[in-house]
Amino acid sequence: MSTDPNCIFCKIAAGQIPSRKVYEDEEILVFHDIHPWAPVHVLMVPKAHIPSMVEVGPEHAPLLGKMMALGPRLMRELGVSNGFRTIVNTGADGGQEVGHLHIHFIGGPRPWAKG
């Protein structure tokens, strides 16, 4: 599994930086966002360093499928029952702030909704 020694998400996945873990297995780590947009806001990262969706290839399909199937289960377990957002920011123009593929799962009252 490839990692980047300068990547904050690689360091979190390796346990070098603490996080509030929600789920972990040999391929994936899910943890609470330190700047949540809603009552439930978790980040799901592959433990292998994949810089962004641009670098995803057919070999990543099983991992990405697993990630997308895991998200709804975790949101239910975290008490989200009225829907949630699934966001993958890609590249600088797509709003990606950390150069490691990650999926935001955001649920609860919607602060982004117009009042």
Close Cβ partners of 82 (under 8 Å, ≥ 6 residues apart) = 107
Q: Comparing 24 with 110, which gets the higher pLDDT? A: 24
Q: Based on the residue annotation, tell me whether 102 is a catalytic residue of this protein.
A: yes
User: What's the average model confidence in pLDDT over 71-97?
Assistant: 95
> Domain ranges in the chain?
8-107
**Whether residue 23 has pLDDT greater than 60:** yes
At 108 the pLDDT is: 84
Task: Please give the CATH number for the structural domain made up of 8-107.
Answer: 3.30.428.10
Spatial CA neighbour of 66 closest among 41, 83, 90, 47:
47
> What is the torsional sign of CA 100, 103, 105, 111?
positive
Q: Single out the catalytic residue among 41, 100, 102, 104.
A: 102
pTM of the model as a whole: 0.92
Spatial CA neighbour of 47 closest among 17, 89, 4, 78:
4
Spatial contact of 105 and 37, defined as CB atoms under 8 Å apart = no
At 40 the pLDDT is: 96
At 3 the pLDDT is: 87
**Whether residue 45 has pLDDT greater than 80:** yes
